[in-house]
Structure 1
Amino acid sequence: ATPRHPLAEPLKAALAKAGVGDGVLLVLPADCDSSHVGLFLDAGRAVMAAPNGTRFVVVHHGYGAAGLARTLRLEDPSAKTTIIDFADPAPSDEDAVASAVTTVVAEVAATTDFTEARYGADGGRTVPRLSALAAPKPGPIQDSLDATDVLLVTGGGKGITAESALALAKDSGARLALLGRSDPESDSELAENLDRMEAAGIRYRYERADVTSAPAVAEVVARIEADLGPVTAVLHGAGRNEPAALFSLTEDSFRKTLAPKIGGLNAVLNAVDQDKIKLLVTFGSIIGRAGLRGEAHYATANDWMTELTLRFGQEHPKARAIALEWSVWSGTGMGEKLGVVSALMRDGITPIPTEEGITILRQVLADPAAPPVLVVCGRTSGLATLPIQKRELPLTRFVDRAIVHYPGVELITEADLSDGADPYLTDHLLDGQLLFPAVLGMEAMTQAAAATLDRTGTPVLSDVEFLRPIIVSPGGSTTVRLATLARDADTVDVVIRSDETGFSADHFRARLSFARPAELGERAPRDVALPPVPVEPISELYGSVLFQGKRFQRVLGYQRASARHAVAEIATSADHYWFAPFLPQERLLADPGTRDAMMHAIQCCVPDATLLPQGIEKLYLAEPGVQHDEYVLLDAKERFQDGDSYVYDLDVRNPDGTLVERWEGLKLRAVRKRDGAGPWVPSMLGSYVERACERLLGGTRSVVLEPDPAGRPAEGIAERRAQTALAAG
């Protein structure tokens, strides 16, 4: 503890009396500074020198030792660590001292792994957790920065700060004032960046200065303002990082690391008119939030800089102050400079591509509702020191084993498919192989997307692709892996992979949006003038033209079955179970058998081949319960044909004409072509003859084949003409 700290002796006595065991307790005043670095290091080394499993507890507030404590926990995973943040860590009131002592003793006794607890002035306890912030819609940044502004950038000649400054100046037209230590005459990277700014038409001024020297900063800021005008915005990106483990870290190195982040920011803010500052952005590091092996000093510097940014915003309510705590960037920045990007990726920490980092910066500045502190990161490999706000995943068939889960951001889950667990597979048997149906793929993707965003409702699917079949061997099993990535608060990209390809290739993929229109289209009256096409689908089509088994046999009949237009009645009522009784039964989408029939009913347009789905441009799915409880009417029209690929648009309506589902750009591919070989179901022959005539003769024509009345051939001119009239509709 610091000398004469009011909690030191009371805590020493209380801990001895409580008999909680050995450990190291570091008790600090509110808002430490560089003079406390030696005390930080002494405490850390005492823990590292102690037996495995030693407890380490820090009591502080504001500029404290959280960065060191988090790093120590990562350097020595056996160290049981608790960080206690009191609103007043050095109370003078006797009752307040007693209350604080009681709280600390309880926290020490409960220290079994890693905990960070914050106590407010009212005594309320909170535990910090990261939670996902949905990406805002793209927008202009003019509210934060415009052509009247001068943006002062520290560390701004190179790295991620230079890339960010260049992008912001292009977007806003602001003038740039760049501070750095390098000389463009001898630094090619800096010279190239300045040339890029010149080529982009950006008005800028580069000044060499050591940001840790307040007099030097004040001098160059005066020159900048004389040239460009008053500084109205600051982007602080200066920093120093020379990794060193706690045992080898010196006080001098610690202080030199604090200097550019804390001393540098203070020097800049003291050199400008703070009342004219409308925007302050500090580029910190996720290391300040989580710690990192060999980075106790850098973690502390970034932790303190975030606190300094918050306080500036509180003291200047007209200014917008934002602390961005970045994970490592790929392609540029400190991680590339230190050569640690590959090592971090091996540890499961995903870097941020430069372009994505710039995009996020633009989104934050364009969003007035963005909070003042944001952690920007990819995967963090489940760091114990960076707890994430978790939620339970729903119990659904395809959200089975979660491998990766960042709520609101990403989900990777696996499920095992087999004919025992998934009996519908036996009804989707083609050439001796069980095919995972596209409609169950849609259900699986919807379950994964809904779990990612914690959303309900039926999404709109777009850019749907069925790239490779997912095959299950009879009696065997196939593991599928669903991976999701949220694009915004409503939208998720989903892919399905399979162990058949070592999870290395996408089999199905789509974008799902839960922001769906209230109405799909106008009600249309049903055309009842057409007589039904003389075919009985169950007995004449299924098993020959159509390979689907019982669960999917929903085509009741056709009103039209031509080469490029199909109108069919599709059953919606069926009493089938889709998953084994020991699995969750809930489905998020309407009946998959009905939806599969919407695709395979189009088989009547290409009756001499098997049509398999390849993709869908956009699919407005029917919500459960809105379809008629007996049947719906499918109206499918061919948009175009390209070789063996056929593209259709589908409207699905209830009997009263209400549009309940719409497919735009359903792409089907013909396989298992028979090239006209029979036997033929008579009513299906017309489509084949029509397409064959077009191939041979060119042009377009309609061909309809109307079978003779059941039981006898049409006789005489009158009967044959009646049959012709019937065929012509």
Structure 2
Amino acid sequence: VSAPVSPPDTPPDTPPPAAAPVPAPVPARAAGADTGTDTARGTRTSTDAATGAGNGTGNRISADTVREVLVDTVAEKTGYPADLVDPGLDLEAELGIDSIKRVQMIGVVQDRFPELPVVRPEQLGELRTIDQLVGHLVGEAGAADPKAPSPAAEFRSAAGEERTRRHRVELVGLPPADRLARPFPAEPVAVVADRGEPHATALAGRLAHEGWTVRRVDLSAYTDIGALEEEFAAATSGPLHLALAVLGTEPDALAAERRLTETVLFAKHARNGLRTGGAHRAAFVTLTRLDGGLGLLGTAEPEAALVGGAGGVVKTLAAEEPELFCRAVDLHPGLDADTSADLLLAELHDAASDTLEVGVDASGTRRTVTPGRHPARTASSEVDVHGAPKPLVTADDVFVVLGGGRGITALCVAALAEHCPARFLLLGRSPLDQEPEWAAAVPDADLKAAVVARLRSGGDRPDPGEAERRYGALRAQREIRATLARIEAAGGTATYHSVDVTDAGAVRAVLAGHRVTGVVHGAGVLADAPLAHKTAEQVERVCSPKLRGLTTVLGAVDPAGLRHLVLFTSVAGLLGNAGQADYAAANEALCRFAASWRHRRPGQHVVAIDWGAWDGGMVGPELRELFTSRGVRLLAPATGARAFVEQFAADALDETRVLVGEAEPLYGTRPAAAPALVARRSLDGLERDPVILDHRIGAHPVLPATFGLGWLVNFAERAHPGLRVVRARDFAVHSGIVFDEGPAGDRRMELTGGEVAGDRVVVRAAVRDDGDGDRSVPVSHYAVTLELAAEAEAAPALPVRPSGTGAADASGLYTGAAQFHGPQLQGMREILEFTAERLVVRCRLADRTVADGAFAGRAHSPVLADVLLQGPSVLGGRVLGQACLPLGIAQADYYAPLPDDRDFLLVADEPRRADGGLTVNATAVDPSGRVLVRFTGVTFVATPAMSDKFAEAVAHWQNRTTAADTLPGNGRGSPN
């Protein structure tokens, strides 16, 4: 987040890498949701709003009153005298009021008049003048519905702090798609935008064969972007169920920029038809054929890989239109047309809507990017704000820094200069002229007023736009001089060159004679607006310095002499952000370029840094509070600069892409229920997984109950992006799945339409067979009621004070057949207390990914959770006198994930006989006494033959003859 976007003729040298002008607020809760307020405490009713109750007048608020407050606020925020603020002027183009300041303006008005309606972010893009804002606020004040809760009331809380994490951004495996039964209507409509590629033609034909009405837009037929927009509008009018953009590889950055512009404009127009598609799925999908890994495997040519930035458009649309199914698909270019069509149809029918990007390689293996909405974990570390970084940079290094004159990029390279006296060639578009005498002695705080006074001295009424341009130019020059001075003071050498970084000839002239060893690309421009208001000019203005700026500079240096290539990218591209489709696309394109460049030059240090939201620039107290209340931790400038320097250290040189900041999107998540879903999942191959083989009861492996629960948790969470299961109720094992002979086949998954209850969504989920010839009713395997929320409740404390005389080795519980589990599931380490009423065990187990996480949730590991059932089973065996198995859990509460390969305590207690069996509680507690997961009312049943089956299973894993059968990490069930 930084200063407002300058007018087109003087774009800023360095917009914020994590530009998030305003975090999109969470939409209002559903009716009946608990907002934490009530009428007695001041909640306004529609009658209050219409009469102006609460403003002390009892009368409707006048337009003149609101206009006066807005004019005064603009004057305060911009430094212009109020008499220059014409209510009819365009707030951004003529007054320099960007989206950040508009939020601040609205905040002031709503503090003064809380009965006025909330202005949503998408409305801010439409309300361009003070008069339009007044018309909206006053015209809507008498609306029939009560005022929605303020966005701040919906945001999560988190304290800002300087500690920041660095996350590896990488590809992770995905399981095969769970196929929905009928996501689209009987006569669906698709629009395919492509350039006549053969595989696009094959896809369109396949869709038509499947019963789709297909309209094609031939992008190659349009050289005029305005005419293309008209065609997009015509083709996407009316109900639409699929908008498919097919992007071929392009030879250079200019062509890639055109493809990304077309994709943004296609999304702009398609969204209207998709929103009217009815109750069925409506999908916006992009298709590329880079490397089968979303361009991140690096096998595509660097400039050809830039079209992978289309994923940024997809993620932006998902943020702006969360009810749509959005996905960027990248297929391996070696796949034939028929196979490609099959794979694309599988993605269209995927039950999971949390995965916005999917790559499919030549073998059919699916991958996505993490961090992201998909819950896969990624490696992370904390930025060391106190240590002494040791960057592998020397005094012989010469860096070209795009956008290095001011802003965040300047801050970072100055920090690098403090550790190594390198040379820096700073490139920016702002001219560095001699400051006029009248301004030389004016402090920064008074500079805008001095500009206005200077313009007034000419006798005419100053134009605010002209005043903003002159003020911006003077401020830019001061910042550039300060950057040069700071680098020189640190021991480095710096020169500034005013140049258009997209002008190849000008860039070559500046760099001629310099032996460049490093490039830092932090240049860029912002033009934030919802997709509905995006223009081709805005997209070009944003993408050009990012894409052509990079390739122009690299074309002017000797690539063989480069040691470092560092690209500033953004969390807005990685995770999406409303209003930033072009910015997200440009940043995602750079990440693909980095992967391809490194693939061809493995000896060079190449990294794309996805920056989180910076605490600087225009982030004042109001916005800081807004971000903090959203749970967005702002990146302290000094910490971010330190992270930049650390990226040059030896232990970071293998990182091609990292996220610096929190792995959370800048937009909010509200409790929104998905419709009822029915899907199918194949279990084929699961019977060969080492973890499943270690869960043998008697002669055959059996799917663990925690996998059955995790199956349903996974299904529900992936249908509700941004939400996680925080509670499971009435989980029941009706008929376990036994892997006896042959393939396991498919199972049917069912999810009811959810009900919103306060800040939670409640669903019922089940796994069934389809039934066979003799059964009229499908066999039910598992069923549960799940509660999902954006965050878990605060974890309770449970101090554990074992009453035993000392710790005892727990391995005998496995070798002695008190439990049957093989080595991959043996997590009980030491018995700390064991009575007829309570068992306390120290546990530790390395988590293992089974079936690419298809049976896991955000806080539910099916492998680690199995340990929580083992302890109660041991206690139940002591009470009942024979081995017992779990058949249900009355309630499971998830506060935090169980630790991977770290100690936790398991407390099994309160055994109660019931219905011929036993119920036991199980609680996992971390070493500090914080509850992680609690299973209440775990139901166990015992049979006379169960002890013999346990003994048979133990004998089986003990008698394995090959070391590979027992070593952790073998096969699909490998440690994370």
- TM-score bracket for this pair, using the shorter chain length: 0.5 to 0.7
Of 659, 679, 683, the residue aligned with 1:375 is 659
Deviation at 1:42, TM superposition (A): 4.1
Change (3 A) 1:263 1:342: farther
Match of 2:392 among 131, 141, 144: 144
Structure 1 partner of 2:407: 159
Residue equivalent to 2:540: 255
Tell me which residue corresponds to 2:183.
none
After superposition, the Cα gap between the structure-2 partners of 1:235 and 1:305, relative to the gap in structure 1 and judged at 3 Å, is same
Q: What is the match of residue 39 of structure 1?
A: 262
1:495 aligns with: none
CA contact (8 A) 1:14 1:105 kept: no
Match of 1:15 in 2: 207
Whether the aligned pair in 1 keeps the contact of 2:630 and 2:668 (CA below 8 Å) is no
Change in CA separation of 1:344 and 1:10 when aligned onto 2, cut-off 3 Å? farther
Q: Which amino acid aligns with 1:26?
A: A
1:306 alignment partner in structure 2: 591
Structure 2: distance between partners of 1:283 and 1:362: 13
Aligned to 2:16: none
Structure 2 counterpart of 1:254, which letter? V
Q: Residue type of the partner of 1:155?
A: G
Letter of the 1:75 counterpart = E
| Pair 1:341–1:293, CA change in 2 (3 A) | farther
The aligned residue for residue 355 of structure 1 is 638
CA RMSD of aligned residues (A): 4.9
Q: State the Cα deviation string for residues 686-713 of structure 1 (Å, max 9, x = none).
A: xxxxxxxxxxxxxxxxxxxxxxxxxxxx
Tell me the amino acid that sits aligned with residue 602 of structure 2.
P
SS state of the match for residue 135, structure 1?
strand
Contact 1:80 1:111 in 2 (8 A): no
Measured at CA, do residues 291 and 389 of structure 1 come closer, stay the same or move farther in structure 2, by a change above 3 Å? closer
Is the counterpart of residue 325 in structure 1 residue 565 in structure 2? no
Q: What is the rounded CA distance, in whole Å, between the counterparts of 2:599 and 2:346 in structure 1?
A: 33
Q: How far off its partner does 1:345 sit?
A: 4.2
Deviation at 1:26, TM superposition (A): 1.4
Instruction: Provide the aligned length of Structure 1 versus Structure 2.
Output: 442
C-alpha distance after superposition, 1:318-363 (max 9, x if no partner): 211111111111124xx74999666544543322111221222233
Distance 1:326 1:319 in 2: 21
Partner of 2:363: 122
SS at match of 1:29: coil
Deviations 1:102-121 (A, max 9, x none): 11122223366343210113
Indicate if the aligned counterparts of 1:348 and 1:379 stay in contact, CA closer than 8 A. Answer: no
Counterpart contact for 2:575–2:664, Cα < 8 Å: no
Q: 1:78 aligns with which of 319, 323, 341?
A: 323
Cα separation, partners in 2 of 1:16 and 1:384, compared to 1, 3 Å: farther
Other-structure match for 2:520: 235
Give deviations 1:608-654, integer Å, cap 9, x for gaps: xxxxxxxxxxxxxxxxxxxxxxxxxxxxxxxxxxxxxxxxxxxxxxx
Which of 922, 935, 956 does residue 584 from structure 1 map onto?
A: 922
Q: CA deviation at 1:584?
A: 2.5
Distance in 1, matches of 2:647 and 2:404, equals 19
Correspondence 1:280 to 2:472: no
Aligned to 2:419, the other structure's residue is in SS state helix
Cα gap change, 1:297 to 1:171, in 2 (>3 Å): same
| 2-structure distance, mates of 1:204, 1:100 | 51
* Whole-angstrom CA distance in 2 between matches of 1:359 and 1:483: 30
SS of corresponding position for 1:30: coil
Taking a change above 3 Å as real, the CA distance of residues 102 and 337 of structure 1, as seen in their structure-2 partners, is farther
Distance 1:200 1:243 in 2: 36
Partner SS for 1:292: coil
Query: Which residue of structure 1 lines up, in the alignment, with residue 313 of structure 2?
Result: 68
Checking the alignment, whether the CA contact within 8 Å between 1:82 and 1:111 is kept in structure 2 is: no
SS in 2 for 1:584: strand
- 1:212 counterpart residue number: 502
- Higher strand residue share: 1
Distance in 1 (alpha carbons) for counterparts of 2:206 and 2:196: 17
**Greater gyration radius:** 1
SS at match of 2:370: coil
The AA in structure 1 aligned to 2:324 is A
> Partner of 1:235: helix, strand, or coil?
strand
Question: Are the equivalent residues in 1 in contact too, given 2:567–2:607 (CA < 8 A)?
Answer: yes
Deviates more, 1:298-307 or 1:3-12: 3-12
- Counterpart position of 1:188: 478
Q: Deviations over 1:362-399 (max 9, x none)?
A: 3332124542011222251597999999999999xxxx
5+ residue gaps, structure 2, are 1-192, 214-240, 291-304, 372-376, 436-473, 670-716, 729-758, 761-790, 803-839, 848-857, 865-893, 912-919, 931-976
Per-residue CA deviation, residues 469-511 of structure 1 (Å, 9 max, x unaligned), is xxxxxxxxxxxx9999x9xx99xxxxxxxxxxxxxxxxxxxxx
**Aligned match of 2:129:** none
Matched, 1:100 2:323: no
For residue 287 of structure 2, what is the aligned residue in structure 1?
A: 59
Aligned residue identity for 1:54: A
User: 1:11 touches 1:105 (CA, 8 Å); kept in 2?
Assistant: no
Residues 142 and 9 of structure 1: CA distance in aligned 2, closer, same or farther (over 3 Å): same
Residue 383 to residue 111, structure 1, CA distance change in 2 (3 Å):
farther
What whole-Å deviation, never above 9, does each CA across 1:215-274 have from its counterpart, x for those lacking one?
111111126x2xxxx111111100111102212111121112111111111111111111
Q: Which amino acid is 1:291 matched to?
A: G
Distance in 1, matches of 2:646 and 2:724, equals: 26
Q: Distance in 1 between matches of 2:538 and 2:907?
A: 67
Q: Aligned AA for 1:373?
A: R
**Secondary structure, in 3 states, of the residue corresponding to 2:418?**
helix
1:244 aligns with 2:624: no
2:419 pairs with 150, 154, 171, which one? 171
Secondary structure class of the residue paired with 2:538: helix
Deviations 1:154-210 (A, max 9, x none): 111111111110111111221222112224543222222222223323222122112
Q: Which runs of 5+ in 1 are unaligned?
A: 396-401, 404-410, 426-442, 457-480, 491-512, 515-575, 593-729
Query: For residues 33 and 82 of structure 1, what CA distance do their matches in structure 2 show?
Result: 19
Which residue of structure 2 lines up, in the alignment, with residue 464 of structure 1? none
* Structure 1 residues 437-586: aligned runs within 5 Å: 583-585=921-923
TM-score calculated relative to the size of structure 2: 0.40
Identical-pair percentage = 26
- Aligned equivalents of 2:315, 2:577: Cα separation in 1: 7
Q: Does the CA-based 8 Å contact 2:571-2:665 persist in structure 1?
A: no
| Alignment partners' CA distance in 2, 1:124 and 1:36 | 27
SS at match of 2:381: coil
Q: How far apart, in 2, do the equivalents of 1:85 and 1:268 lie? A: 28
In 1, the alpha carbon distance for the partners of 2:248 and 2:564 equals: 31
Amino acid at match of 1:238: A
2:358–2:368 Cα contact (<8 Å) kept = yes
Q: 1:342 to 1:242 in 2, by over 3 A?
A: farther
Distance change (3 Å), C-alpha of 1:121 and 1:384: farther
Q: How far apart, in 1, do the equivalents of 2:205 and 2:908 lie? A: 66
Q: Which has the higher contact order (CA 8 A, sep 6+)?
A: 2
Pick closer, same or farther for the CA change 1:365–1:136 going to 2, 3 Å: farther
Within 2, Cα distance between the matches of 1:327 and 1:590? 31
The alignment's TM-score, normalised by the length of structure 1, stands at 0.52
